[in-house]
């Protein structure tokens, strides 16, 4: 373990946070840290060397790196479960040592760690420290993850003939919506989920990056399944943007390009920080976008196309064909993009952060969920909230071209926009004084101070 950063203030309002080292998890954890810091807590972030956050963007926090044993590991959809399993094994001793040193310096009010880091519950218990869990996915997705180890035998692996069948245990999901992960050993996945649920039940509380009005019934189910205090205090990024915790450089030329486009004319396309595609799918995506004749801003992250460094897989003559109608970047300031007047739709993989960010800007979605909770989010976006449509055929240029037009220019898209704008208004209210998230945050603060 390394420990060169300044020691935190010794007081009983000291919180220690530990994020999962992936962009979609670092963003909400650091946003939460900023929210709690603004309420007077002093903050220490324990983090792995792998994907370590940019400390200089958060001079008000103390950062303590711990060894993770896989600094050079690449994280992709192919190895996510083994990566998570390794994290839960490799970090036990370094995390315990780090906490012991911190405790020698002064009291810690509580630990806040990602639900995925289930090992941290036993470490917290060993020190008699309360642990509060942060779930970075939606409540609905977490409930499905909790049910999966029990129901998987009935429905998984998915059979083509059953894809449309409802799953009564987790309605309104159909078999096609159940979270899947590519892993060499699916037993590892279910074992991990069981541990995550058991250790969440054993924790002192559960923080959700969502708002009650969006997931009212899921929140009440969660209170039954996890009979510990549940606090839905999101969306976090409305208080502190994700740009300060970005691991890649955000290309600001995307904003100057958007400035030249017409009101709500541009489709923003991004599949988050982990999802990957093969060359054939990428080719279909490229032609679907080109044939739609809509302007588009496309984030193609290096590593997004399997076997390609960046854009080598684009069809020849593609750049000439799209001309100024398309802008392709490696990484964008996503929240700013979604808030831009020129953006009228978001083709997304439905990571929970992206979904929330789109809701907060009132931008209707086209869903291409790739794995895990994204399938559940896509179900809610398309069939429950009615704020987007989901591609059913995977990635096929005809469906893409048609879907883009449905959302960007047809009445159907207008109706989705009206519904998502209603949700956007609810977000604004829930964060105001007396709003649901504001109230839950006050309750969370009193709860932590009572430890």
Question: In the complex, which residues of this chain contact ligand UDX (CB under 6 A)?
Answer: 22-25, 27, 136-137, 242, 246, 250, 270, 272-275, 299, 331-332, 334-335, 351-354, 357, 372-374
Give the H/E segment covering residue 62: strand 62-66
The number of beta carbons lying within 10 Å of the beta carbon of residue 178 is 21
Minimum Å distance from CB 347 to ligand UDX? 12
With CB atoms as reference, the residue minimizing the distance to ligand UDX is: 24
Minimum Å distance from CB 383 to ligand UDX? 18
Assigned token pair, 299: 């984030």
- Cβ distance to ligand UDX smaller for residue 130 or 179: 179
- Cβ distance to ligand UDX smaller for residue 112 or 275: 275
- Cβ distance to ligand UDX smaller for residue 273 or 368: 273
Closest CA to 359 of 381, 391, 379: 381
Residues 311-339 as b or e (16 or more Cβ within 10 Å = b): bebbeeebeeebeebbbbbbbbbbbbbbe
| DSSP letters for 333-354 | -HHHHHHSTTEEEEEE---HHH
Contacts of 47 (CB under 8 A, 6+ apart): 18, 19, 21, 53, 63, 64, 65, 66
Minimum Å distance from CB 162 to ligand UDX? 24
Minimum Å distance from CB 26 to ligand UDX? 9
- Cβ distance to ligand UDX smaller for residue 67 or 200: 200
Residue count of the chain, please give it.
451
Minimum Å distance from CB 254 to ligand UDX? 8
Q: What's the rounded Cα separation, in Å, for the pair 300 and 310? A: 7
The number of beta carbons lying within 10 Å of the beta carbon of residue 187 is 11
The number of beta carbons lying within 10 Å of the beta carbon of residue 418 is 13
Strand partners, 135: 208
Contacts of 448 (CB under 8 A, 6+ apart): 15, 41, 109, 110, 132
Q: What's the rounded Cα separation, in Å, for the pair 257 and 188? A: 45
Give the position of tokens 């929240």: 335
Minimum Å distance from CB 414 to ligand UDX? 25
- Cβ distance to ligand UDX smaller for residue 246 or 368: 246
Minimum Å distance from CB 446 to ligand UDX? 29
The DSSP output letter for 277 is B
- Cβ distance to ligand UDX smaller for residue 84 or 129: 84
The DSSP output letter for 106 is S
Minimum Å distance from CB 331 to ligand UDX? 4
Give the H/E segment covering residue 359: helix 352-361
Torsion sign, CA atoms 428, 431, 433, 439 = positive
Minimum Å distance from CB 141 to ligand UDX? 7
- Cβ distance to ligand UDX smaller for residue 14 or 83: 83
Closest CA to 17 of 102, 82, 93: 102
- Cβ distance to ligand UDX smaller for residue 129 or 328: 328
Q: What's the rounded Cα separation, in Å, for the pair 118 and 196? A: 5
Strand partners, 132: 112, 205
Minimum Å distance from CB 447 to ligand UDX? 25
- Cβ distance to ligand UDX smaller for residue 8 or 208: 208
The DSSP output letter for 324 is G
- Cβ distance to ligand UDX smaller for residue 247 or 421: 247
Minimum Å distance from CB 206 to ligand UDX? 16
- Cβ distance to ligand UDX smaller for residue 152 or 244: 244
């Amino acid at each position: 373990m390394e420990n060169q950063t300044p020691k935190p203030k010794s007081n009983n309002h000291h919180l220690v946070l530990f994020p999962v080292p992936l962009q979609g998890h670092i963003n909400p954890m650091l946003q939460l840290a900023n929210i709690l810091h603004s309420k007077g807590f002093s903050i220490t972030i324990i983090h792995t060397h792998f994907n370590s956050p940019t400390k200089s963007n958060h001079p008000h926090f103390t950062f303590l790196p711990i060894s993770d044993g896989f600094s050079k590991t690449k994280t992709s959809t192919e190895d996510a479960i083994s990566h998570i399993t390794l994290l839960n094994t490799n970090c036990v001793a370094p995390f315990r040592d780090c906490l012991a040193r911190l405790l020698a310096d002064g009291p810690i009010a509580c630990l806040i760690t990602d639900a995925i880091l289930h090992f941290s519950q036993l470490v917290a218990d060993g020190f008699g420290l309360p642990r509060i869990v942060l779930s970075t996915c939606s409540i609905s997705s977490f409930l499905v993850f909790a049910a999966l180890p029990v129901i998987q035998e009935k429905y998984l692996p998915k059979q083509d003939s059953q894809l449309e069948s409802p799953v009564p245990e987790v309605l309104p999901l159909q078999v096609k919506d159940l979270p899947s992960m590519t892993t060499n050993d699916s037993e590892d996945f279910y074992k991990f989920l069981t541990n995550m649920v058991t250790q969440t039940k054993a924790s002192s509380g559960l923080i959700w990056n969502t708002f009650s009005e969006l997931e009212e019934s899921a929140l009440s189910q969660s209170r039954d399944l996890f009979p510990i205090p549940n606090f839905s205090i999101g969306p976090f990024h409305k208080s502190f943007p994700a740009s300060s915790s970005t691991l890649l450089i955000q290309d600001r030329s995307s904003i100057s390009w958007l400035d030249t486009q017409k009101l709500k004319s541009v489709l923003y396309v991004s599949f988050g920080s982990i999802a990957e595609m093969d060359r054939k799918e990428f080719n279909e995506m490229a032609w679907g976008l080109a044939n739609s004749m809509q302007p588009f801003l496309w984030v193609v992250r290096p590593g997004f196309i399997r076997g390609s460094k960046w854009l080598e897989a684009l069809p020849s003559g593609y750049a000439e064909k799209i001309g100024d109608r398309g802008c392709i970047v490696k990484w964008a300031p996503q929240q700013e993009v979604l808030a831009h007047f020129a953006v009228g739709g978001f083709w997304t993989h439905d990571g929970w952060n992206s979904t929330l960010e789109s809701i907060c800007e009132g931008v209707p979605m086209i869903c291409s969920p790739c794995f895990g909770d994204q399938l559940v989010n896509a179900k809610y976006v398309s069939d429950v909230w009615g704020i987007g449509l989901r591609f059913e055929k995977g990635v096929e240029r005809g469906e893409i071209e048609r879907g883009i037009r449905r959302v960007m220019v047809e009445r159907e898209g207008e109706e989705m926009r009206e519904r998502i704008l209603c949700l956007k208004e609810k977000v604004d209210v829930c964060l105001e004084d007396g709003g649901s998230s504001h109230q839950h945050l006050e309750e969370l603060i009193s709860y932590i101070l009572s430890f």
